[in-house]
């Protein structure tokens, strides 16, 4: 162990960024620290889920009509409470709530930013101890500062994001966030209770041999999508070209893709003719992160996902995202 090695915490890094940009107000840095604090609280409960009364169903459904897990409810409350007590956020929209929540105190109304979030992605994995996560994105409000935020503040195309990130609760807990300058990764050190810099200036490898898609719905996908899956599932004389992975948690899929490269696909199918994943809470933030790391994110073979203008908070879209060169191969196939 190198005792002279400097380990930079999330707080120290955000303060350093303020020093590098003298004109910065510090609101975004403070907001990221507040999100990190809520993530640490959720992490504590995730780690003791097997012995606490937070496993299983909460006995109700969310606005999507999906069964809500007890830990979903806890995570949603923690992030909303942390952001509401902050002075850096004027409102939040959550996948778990039908409507956005404006913060009405005078300090919050003067803040610049709104936050959209999926407080606990992959919650169907909770009871079987598979990785889950939190996804968030930050936008500069369109409504006048000093007033309550409005719906249009949340319905901006992904190109307007100021920052986006995720927290993955797995074998270790990591917070990865992107600004318009870079993508940074921090790992939670449980001995000091701080997120510490572990993956500076993350870049997605341009090539990989990993593809991820739910092949259980193969026959429900459009023909050109099936053709692209056929390409990635093809075998050569060594019995394989690509490896297939599918976790069932977008945070886990994107984290692997960001670190190891690859392509993740969640096409439209069956009753989800407009796609299944949410544009505002899942697809926009993950696409922003991937693009800032050198990858590509598409809604169709010709439509850049970040350019979509949301029509409603809970809008769903298809998503195809990953390493630059693999995405170029995918686009060539589906556009034939």
Region 195-224: what's the mean pLDDT?
97
Buried b (16+ CB within 10 A) or exposed e, 45-61: bbeebeeeebeeeeeee
121 annotated to bind ligand: yes
214 annotated to bind ligand: yes
Region 146-167: what's the mean pLDDT?
98
Kindly report the CA angle at 23 between 7 and 90, in degrees rounded to 5?
A: 85
50 annotated to bind ligand: no
Percentage, residues of the chain above pLDDT 90: 77
For the segment 244-264, what is each residue's pLDDT rounded down to a tens digit? 999 989 999 999 999 999 999
- Residue 156's pLDDT is what? 98
- Residue 55's pLDDT is what? 57
- Residue 1's pLDDT is what? 42
45 annotated to bind ligand: no
95 annotated to bind ligand: yes
Kindly report the CA angle at 283 between 321 and 161, in degrees rounded to 5?
A: 110
pLDDT at residue 53 above 70?
A: no
pLDDT at residue 318 above 70?
A: yes
> For residue 3, what are the contacts with CB-CB under 8 A and spacing of at least 6?
none
- Residue 18's pLDDT is what? 80
């Amino acid at each position: 162990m190198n005792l002279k090695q400097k380990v930079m915490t999330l707080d120290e890094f955000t303060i350093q960024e303020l020093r590098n940009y003298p004109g910065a107000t510090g609101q975004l840095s403070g907001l990221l620290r507040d999100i990190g604090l809520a993530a640490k609280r959720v992490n504590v409960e995730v780690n003791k889920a097997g012995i606490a009364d937070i496993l299983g169903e909460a006995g109700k459904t969310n606005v999507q009509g999906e069964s809500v897990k007890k830990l979903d409810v806890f995570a949603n409350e923690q992030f909303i409470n942390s952001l509401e007590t902050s002075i850096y956020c004027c409102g939040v929209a959550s996948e778990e709530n039908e409507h956005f929540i404006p913060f009405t105190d005078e300090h919050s109304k003067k803040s610049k930013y709104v936050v959209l979030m999926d407080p606990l992605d992959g919650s169907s994995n909770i009871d079987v101890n598979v990785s889950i996560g939190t996804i968030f994105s930050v936008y500069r409000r369109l409504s006048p500062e000093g007033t309550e935020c409005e719906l249009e503040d949340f319905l901006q195309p992904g190109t307007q994001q100021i920052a986006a990130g995720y927290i993955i609760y797995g074998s270790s807990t990591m917070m990865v966030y992107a600004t318009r300058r870079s993508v940074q990764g921090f790992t939670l050190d449980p001995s000091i209770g701080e997120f510490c810099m572990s993956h500076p200036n993350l870049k997605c490898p341009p090539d990989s041999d990993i593809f991820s898609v739910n092949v259980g719905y193969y026959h429900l996908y459009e023909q050109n999508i099936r053709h692209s899956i056929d390409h990635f599932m093809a075998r050569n004389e060594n019995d394989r070209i690509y490896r297939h992975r599918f976790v069932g948690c977008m945070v886990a899929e994107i984290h692997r893709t960001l670190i190891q490269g690859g392509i993740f696909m969640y096409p439209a199918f069956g009753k989800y003719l407009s796609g299944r994943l949410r544009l505002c809470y899942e697809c926009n933030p993950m696409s922003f992160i991937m693009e800032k790391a050198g990858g590509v994110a598409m809604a169709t073979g010709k439509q850049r996902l970040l350019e979509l203008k949301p029509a409603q908070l809970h809008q769903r879209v298809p998503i195809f995202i990953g390493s630059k060169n693999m995405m170029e191969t995918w686009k060539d196939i589906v556009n034939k």
